[in-house]
Amino acid sequence: MQGAGMKKQLTRAEAAIRQRSMPGSDAGDLRRVSGRDPGRSPFGDGTYRRGRSVADSGVKQRDVRGRVRPGAKTIPVEGDEVMVELDYTKFDGLLPAVVQDWESGDVLMVAFMNEEAFKLTVETKKATYFSRSRGKLWVKGESSGNEQVVKEIRIDCDADTVLLKVVQKGGAACHLGYKSCFFRKVEGEELVVTGEPLFDPDEVYKK
């Protein structure tokens, strides 16, 4: 009897797996919404999935635990849809963006993105952010020439933080001329400067 019950459970599991792969099934649509199909990623890493919109599919956007995420957005790109769940509800419509050097993995800076900045970053592969102090979009390097070419985008487990892996043009991400904005290290009760500036900000940011 125990063996027969186990066999029935396996049969149900196999049926569920087949159902997930069927076109038009809820599970198949959720797979498209979650962006886990590596074959359609604009960055080649399976982070994104292009397909019909969530509104067209009739499927509510859900997080990895299956819970409906009220703040999740579908970002249109080049007339199609990038099926990425992002939660803009926690920071007044903004997402923190951590920026890493593509080769070394060093953390270069932290900025913020709104929906438009994220869309433009995906479209152009140039890091684009939202300035809270100026209240507008800005493309990294538009004044200094030190652009960030985006090689990979990752989203954290709560879908409220973005990680960009970039090639940093000019070698310096910090507006003070350093490679990283995190050029000061805490040692005891002091801040110690590490590294040397790669450019003079007074010369680069002349008004």
Q: Which residues are annotated binding-site positions for Zn(2+)?
A: 157, 174, 181
The answer to whether 47 touches 41, Cβ cutoff 8 Å, is yes
Give the C-alpha separation, 100 to 117, whole Å. Answer: 18
Contacts of 194 by beta carbon, 8 Å cutoff, 6+ apart: 183, 184, 185
Q: Annotated binding site for Mg(2+): which residue ranges?
A: 156, 158, 160
Output DSSP code: residue 19: H
Q: Annotated binding site: which residue ranges?
A: 156-158, 160, 174, 181
The answer to whether 32 touches 51, Cβ cutoff 8 Å, is yes
Nearest to 157 by CA among 31, 64, 72: 64
Q: How many CB atoms lie within 10 A of CB 13?
A: 10
Report phi then psi at 92, rounded to 5.
55, 45
